């Protein structure tokens, strides 16, 4: 419970800190690494290949395929009038089951005073579904804006490498501010501002029903993320991501860090959308030989793909053997 509470504080903006207690097993491994360092030449060779992009991207490929297929299911179901995937990723009916984004549902209740049976059923369904599948896994495996932002991030990083632009990070606690701001404004003004500007809904509806003027706001966000601040919406604004992160606290699907083989070279930090969750990979920061990654993790698998020592792995509680 203490670990979950600490992960919650970090997700809300607190800076990660060195653990107050490090297990004897973890301390022993740190000492062994100092006394018997691994083959540095082989590691450097592997890191050179990684910098050249020569490493497995299987999790990214699986994720992109899954995300695109899910969104196309809504598109073609509408175009062909199949009525299997109805609505959008904000509120939908999938094979007859109602589904509603929890944060958007709160906007409806506070802004318009509506609490229908279908909305209740849809919200509860989504809460249960993503509590099982990993909370913010919705962001990287389903959200259409996440994919656009990921492509924008690739451009941003290339421009940073060429020193054409500079990244401007904000404090992560800004997400909590926006989470509260959109709810309070909905209650005070009876207007769902977030529902109007939410890029997830805009892109989802554009794919299904066609592009409208609201797509200009999405383009504006992407330009900010390319030229000014890396992954600005997902990192510092999106209240949906924060909500799904809370659901991820109880999920059996976790990304876990395994200390023994890690050489703390930091390649995973460079590709992570939310690098604060990987604070434990830094030397002396792991509290035990196996550490679950925090609830703010999007389960994108980028760190799993790039890790040269396979120290980061997906695990399912109760099904994956400890090692």
Q: Considering the chain, what percentage of its residues have pLDDT values greater than 90?
A: 76
Using alpha carbons, list the distances in angstroms from residue 264 to 16, 40, 101, 302, 312: 17, 12, 38, 16, 12
Helix axes 144-161, 58-79, angle to 10 degrees: 140
Mean pLDDT of the 234-248 span: 95
pLDDT at position 228 is 97
In this model, does residue 74 exceed pLDDT 60?
Answer: yes
Q: How confident is the model at residue 251 (pLDDT cuts 50, 70, 90)?
A: very high
pTM: 0.91
| Confidence tier at 37 by pLDDT (50, 70, 90) | low
pLDDT greater than 70 at residue 322? no
At 133, the pLDDT band (50, 70, 90 cuts) reads very high
The pLDDT assigned to 219 comes to: 98
The confidence score (pLDDT) of residue 323 equals 53
Q: Is the pLDDT of residue 6 over 90?
A: no
The whole-number pLDDT of residue 38 equals 64
More confident site: 239 or 39? 239
Among 30-44, 61-75, 180-194, 220-234, which is the least confidently predicted range? 30-44
HSE-CB at 213 with a 13 A cutoff on CA atoms is 1
- What separation in angstroms does the CA of 116 have from each of 100, 103, 113, 188? 12, 15, 10, 21
Tell me the average pLDDT across 53-73.
95
Tell me how many degrees the CA angle 151-231-204 measures, rounded to the nearest 5. Answer: 65
Our measurement of the distance from residue 10's CA atom to the centroid of its chain's CA atoms, rounded to an integer in Å, reads: 14
Q: What is the mean pLDDT of residues 124-131?
A: 96
Compute the average pLDDT of residues 138-156. 97
Phi, psi (rounded to 5 degrees) for 99: -140, 135
pLDDT, one tens digit per residue, over 252-287 is 999 999 999 898 989 999 999 999 999 999 999 999
Q: What is the mean pLDDT of residues 18-23?
A: 88
Residue 29: both structure tokens together: 């491994």
Residues 6+ apart with CB under 8 A from 130: 137, 138, 244, 247, 248, 251
Q: Does the pLDDT value for residue 51 go beyond 90?
A: no
Q: What are the contacts of 202-207 at 24+ separation with CB within 8 A?
A: 202/145, 203/144, 203/145, 203/148, 204/71, 204/74, 204/88, 204/89, 204/90, 204/144, 205/88, 207/71, 207/72, 207/74, 207/75, 207/144
**Domain residue spans of the chain:** 59-246
Average pLDDT of the segment spanning 118-139? 95
pLDDT of residue 45: 84
Give the lowest-confidence range in 183-192, 236-245, 311-320: 311-320
- Rounded Cα–Cα distance for residues 170 and 235 (Å): 9
- Paired tokens of 179: 């989470």
Q: Edge-to-edge strand order for the sheet containing 85-87?
A: 85-87, 91-94, 97-100
Whether the predicted pLDDT of 32 surpasses 70: yes
């Amino acid at each position: 419970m203490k670990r979950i509470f600490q992960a919650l504080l970090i997700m809300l903006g607190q800076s990660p800190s060195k653990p107050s207690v490090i297990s004897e097993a973890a301390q022993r491994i740190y000492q062994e690494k100092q006394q018997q360092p691994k083959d540095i030449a082989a590691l450097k060779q592997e890191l050179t290949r990684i910098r050249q992009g020569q490493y497995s991207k299987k999790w990214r490929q699986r994720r992109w395929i899954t995300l695109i297929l899910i969104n196309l299911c809504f598109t073609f179901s509408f175009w062909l009038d199949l009525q299997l995937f109805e609505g959008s990723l904000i509120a939908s009916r999938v094979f007859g089951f109602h589904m509603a984004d929890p944060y958007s549902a709160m906007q409806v209740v506070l802004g318009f005073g509506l609490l229908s049976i279908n909305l209740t059923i849809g919200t509860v369904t989504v809460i249960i579904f993503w509590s099982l599948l990993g909370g913010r896994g919705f962001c990287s495996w389903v959200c259409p804006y996440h994919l656009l932002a990921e492509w924008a991030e690739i451009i941003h990083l290339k421009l940073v490498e060429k020193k054409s632009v500079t990244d401007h990070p904000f404090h992560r606690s800004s997400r909590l501010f926006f989470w509260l701001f959109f709810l309070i404004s909905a209650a005070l003004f009876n207007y769902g501002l977030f529902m109007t500007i939410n890029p997830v809904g805009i892109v989802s509806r554009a794919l299904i029903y066609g592009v409208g003027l609201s797509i200009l706001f999405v383009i504006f966000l992407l330009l900010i993320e390319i030229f000014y601040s890396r992954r600005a919406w997902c990192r510092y604004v999106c209240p949906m991501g924060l909500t799904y992160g809370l659901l991820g606290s109880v999920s059996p699907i976790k990304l876990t860090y395994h200390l023994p083989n890690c050489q703390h070279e930091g390649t995973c930090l460079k590709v992570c959308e939310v690098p604060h969750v990987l604070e434990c990979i830094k030397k002396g920061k792991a509290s035990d030989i196996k550490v679950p990654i925090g609830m703010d993790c999007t389960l994108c698998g980028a760190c799993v793909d790039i890790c040269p020592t396979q120290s980061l792995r997906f695990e399912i509680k109760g099904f994956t053997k400890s090692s």
